[in-house]
Structure 1
């Protein structure tokens, strides 16, 4: 199976998930998506989208150079992470089963791409530009800060650092996916976990702007949790990487929301009617 075949499978599955989810959101909210909202939002977030696009291109262009630079100026923290965590990931894999491996493999590849792309479509069709703007700014911060961390820190994942104790369950279950992961990942770039940070970013934004699509929050929460666990269950990331990813997500959402609400207003739109109070951390990410 070639890279093209894997990409085709991913696109096809994610497209189906998009169509099903858009239909479900429309039924749950009773709202019709307006083309006018799409045009207005695209114009409103155009500059931010360009910045995100540049970061994505830069991330791919400097991937190989970044690894070489990291070995010159970066600090190898793999041993320190292992000293703190010990066999946590190996212990997590002790519950492995064919069913769990199939689920987490699906989540890591298909579910992750869906989680990242669906909010862009969903918020682009909403009549408030703030959720889309906050999402793009938060994504840009995740990728930008993540790229810097990958240069400053050399960190091998548990499957590479202790192969005798931790299995590469993703590749064992679906070896062809290496055609895809080898194009976007390096073995030394695991701190922080961008899979975790971006997925948690989606869930936090779904909480903050839950009135844009009330039914999206539980889906995003389950999806983000599953992705975070999948990164460890599959032997790709340490718990430390996941925790660092969560911190990055909280920071990115806080800044992204502040920027979006500063540019597009901080008052709820006429369609935002869900104002039930909530306490704790979630309240910081809601309006």
Structure 2
């Protein structure tokens, strides 16, 4: 999907111009120094979040604390069963399409945004994007550990866990990254997809890419409710987190990095 999208959505002249610029400015040394640390950062934070099952078990066994707050019940008291309207009409074809968008469309949007900025040599924007991604993961991590909220399909009357009922393969795959199906608040699917969309809309000039990003992002928001996964509260929190991370990464990234290099240069001189 990434390869097809790159050659379909990025015009040949645009690729040629950007790639020639990249060849002049990017070599292995600069890639290792400029890009690799950010890939390592977001990879580390991602793996940290996905290791939460181990963290939770350690907390329960070592510290003897209980994390069974049944927070989904309190969210239900706040927003009611509004999410159930997304399953007023269910259809096998719609369920398969929604599952594809939720799993592959979401991953594609995040990775292609990264690949696009890398391949077009927009390194500053690429760094801002990876920092924003890492910020979202780090903010969500303590919520997933200490305030688990179970998916709507397992707690809300009238809502079925369509994604988890689709196939044992999907269920086992989802359980590998969310062992207890309680990583709801905030919604990472909402936060990360909206973040990628913001970067594509405001930091690119390709109309086709912008249209695709908006379409996929809106489709993802539908799937998180239709498939019986997220609450509206999770969605709102995801939007706020996406806006905050985009603002901080684009406004303060350069200031922080410049300050870091000034301190490093001062240390070298000393």
| Same fold, judged at TM 0.5 (above) | yes
In the alignment, structure 1 segments of 5+ residues that lack a partner are: 1-16, 266-287
Bigger shift: residues 68-77 or 123-132: 68-77
**Alignment length (residue pairs):** 247
The 5 A counterparts of 1:89-238 are: 89-162=83-156, 164-185=157-178, 186-211=180-205, 213-238=206-231
The 5 A counterparts of 1:3-22 are: 17-22=1-6
Q: Which residue of 2 aligns with 1:8?
A: none
Higher helix proportion: 2
Say if 1:38 and 1:195 are closer, same or farther in 2 by CA, change over 3 A: farther
Q: Which residue of 1 aligns with 2:10?
A: 26
**Partner SS, residue 108 of structure 2:** helix
**Partner SS, residue 172 of structure 2:** helix
Q: Which has the larger radius of gyration?
A: 2
Matches of 2:7 and 2:253 in 1, distance apart?
27
Structure 1 length as normaliser, TM-score?
Answer: 0.77
Structure 2 length as normaliser, TM-score?
Answer: 0.82
Q: Which residue of 2 aligns with 1:9?
A: none
| Residue 36 of structure 2 corresponds to residue 43 of structure 1 | no
The 8 Å contact of residues 196 and 242 in structure 1, kept in 2 or not, is answered as yes
Matches of 2:225 and 2:100 in 1, distance apart?
14
In the alignment, structure 2 segments of 5+ residues that lack a partner are: 259-270
Q: Which residue of 2 aligns with 1:60?
A: 50
Say if 1:168 and 1:29 are closer, same or farther in 2 by CA, change over 3 A: farther
The 8 Å contact of residues 71 and 149 in structure 2, kept in 1 or not, is answered as yes
The 8 Å contact of residues 75 and 152 in structure 1, kept in 2 or not, is answered as no
TM-fit CA distance, 1:99: 2.7
Q: Which residue of 2 aligns with 1:279?
A: none
**Partner SS, residue 235 of structure 1:** coil
The 8 Å contact of residues 101 and 234 in structure 1, kept in 2 or not, is answered as yes
| Residue 40 of structure 2 corresponds to residue 83 of structure 1 | no
Matches of 2:100 and 2:170 in 1, distance apart?
11
Matches of 1:23 and 1:180 in 2, distance apart?
30
Q: Which residue of 2 aligns with 1:256?
A: 249
The 8 Å contact of residues 38 and 125 in structure 1, kept in 2 or not, is answered as no
Say if 1:26 and 1:263 are closer, same or farther in 2 by CA, change over 3 A: farther
**Root mean square deviation, CA, Å:** 2.4
- Measured against aligned partners, the alpha-carbon deviations of 1:37-76 in whole angstroms (never above 9, x if no partner) come to 6644553233333222221222233433236648636854
- Measured against aligned partners, the alpha-carbon deviations of 1:144-181 in whole angstroms (never above 9, x if no partner) come to 1110111231211111113x511111133334211210
